A and B are shown apart, each in its own frame.
Chain A
Amino acid sequence: MSGQIVIVGAGQAGVQAVQSLRSEGFSGAITMIGDEAYPPYQRPPLSKAYLLGTFARERLFLKPAAFYREAGCDLILNARVDKIDRAAKTVSLQDGRTLAYDKLLLATGTRVRRLACPGAGLPGVQYLRDIADVDGLQDGFKSGIRLAIVGGGYIGLEVAAVGAKRGLDVTVFEAADRLMARAVSQPVSDFYAAEHTRSGVKLNLNTGVESFEGNNKIEAVVAGGTAHPADMVLVGIGVVPNDMLARESGLPCQDGIIVDRNAMTSDPSIFAAGDCTRHHGREGIEIRLECVQNAIDQAKHAALAMVGRAKIYSEVPWFWSDQYDLKLQIAGLARPPDRLVLRGDPASRKFAVFHLRDGVVAAVEAINAAPEYLTGRKLIADGAKVPPEKLADLSIPMKQMAQD
């Protein structure tokens, strides 16, 4: 199959689409446009090993330059797409260029949600999304520095863990009553709160930030009515999808570009994949996923659909987070009021929480517990029913869970 495919966005989903299009035999031209200075790179290490300084920048790149050359992918960096002309099937770049497409893939990702409170623009109030953000953070990452983190989600807590390890004086402010409330269950939140506290991180739950104070640079975070001195602030309060381009071209969007289960938008020539999309998940509920798994799998499905071999996207989502020596691995999507089943003792720093919905395994959160995670993922994919007392019984190996 030939033609011209244009990919807007040079991240994990974009690069996967290039790879899948070629492995599916697409022989036409591929152009990928990214608005950063760098070719596609991994974001997960940014808040972990890269921030810690144990992972050289070169290792972040998803593919070597030879990949794009051999795949015949024209990679345009430092460029921004301004407009999609759906009638003419062209995209216009800010620099005046116009590119024609037969099929278009939007893999535009997300941008950080910004705080709008007083003082939010002070130097020293930082965000973490790209390489440049982390390079900026690292400059001030010195022992003894008072680092205030706004938001107790994945990003905030991964940075807190790195900060604690590097000897910074770390304080976290979280508006909700527990950590990672959007992503994990109560027992896992509680476990991580104890771990961070043990490492010297000060946690302030139920504490929204009201303002920032300082003369030309951050000096204090005002939260819960108190001014907390700080030398540096990292805000990690989530991301918003980059769906403006799609929206302005008239494609239906609602907190994300709406796609079907073949990653197709309402325009049969336009597809979208990754964090920027909203789709009907495998459970039939509309979701917008922010994870590597979705970027990879949805891009694979977009590529299949673009070459005329559409296949329904129904992979089980999976996520991970590294904090200290703890590996948190999650599969499936929790949905209250799932029945929670604890397997193992959190005090052993190795346990899992299974989520049962009508008796069926719907999600698993595993902490340093690979068998629980891997078997859990399979049980979820199979829609398996496992009695809760069996799941909780450590004398029964995970491999035997699927058997009756």
Chain B
Amino acid sequence: MPKITFIQPDGAEQTVEVVAGWSVMEGAVRSLVPGIDADCGGACACATCHVYVDPAWLAALPAKSEMEETMLDFAQTAAPNSRLSCQLRVTSDLDGLIVRVPIAQH
């Protein structure tokens, strides 16, 4: 299974295996990664699964949908490398992906 690394604001790292086809958010929830609230469960409706993608990985990710783009545009702590982890589908191409968890989702 592809491995994804989550880095907390305090620097703590957690590498978890995610079932291919699931989202990065689901992988986080499944492995009890703190800081990914995902209130809406992945419907791209709440913007509480925001992560910062390691710049080296940005190009490997599919483009943002217009919905994701606008949801992020309104997230208080969003940066150019921000993504909603519920919209990132895990494939073998993303094996090794590194993302950072923001201080707060709300």
Closest to B29 in A: A63
Partner pick for A370 among B22, B29, B71, CB 8 A cutoff:
B71
B70 & A64 in contact (Cβ 8 Å cutoff): no
- Using Cβ atoms and an 8 Å threshold, which residues of chain B touch A375? 74
Q: Is residue B9 contacting chain A, with contact meaning CB distance below 8 A?
A: no
Prevailing SS type, chain A contact patch = helix
Contact A67/B40 with A370-B71, A371-B70, A371-B73 known, Cβ cut-off 8 Å: no
Interface positions of B from 45 to 85, Cβ below 8 Å from A? 45-47, 66-67, 70-71, 73-74
Partner pick for A320 among B22, B40, B66, B74, CB 8 A cutoff:
B40
Prevailing SS type, chain B contact patch = loop
Q: Is residue A42 contacting chain B, with contact meaning CB distance below 8 A?
A: yes
Q: Is residue B96 contacting chain A, with contact meaning CB distance below 8 A?
A: no
B32 & A70 in contact (Cβ 8 Å cutoff): yes
A59 to chain B, nearest CB (A): 6
When chains A and B are docked, how far (Å) is the Cα of A296 from the Cα of B45?
Answer: 14
Closest to B69 in A: A370
When chains A and B are docked, how far (Å) is the Cα of A292 from the Cα of B40?
Answer: 7
- Using Cβ atoms and an 8 Å threshold, which residues of chain A touch B70? 370-371, 374
Interface residue range, chain A: 20 to 34
B41 & A374 in contact (Cβ 8 Å cutoff): no
Chain B residues near A (Cβ < 8 Å): 22, 26, 29-32, 39-41, 43-47, 66-67, 70-71, 73-74
27 contacts between A and B (CB under 8 A): A44-B40, A44-B41, A44-B43, A62-B29, A63-B29, A63-B32, A64-B29, A70-B32, A292-B39, A292-B40, A296-B39, A318-B45, A318-B46, A320-B40, A320-B45, A322-B43, A327-B44, A329-B45, A370-B66, A370-B67, A370-B74, A371-B70, A371-B73, A374-B47, A374-B70, A374-B74, A375-B74
Chain A residues near B (Cβ < 8 Å): 42, 44-45, 59, 62-64, 66-67, 70, 292-293, 296, 318, 320, 322, 327, 329, 368, 370-371, 374-375
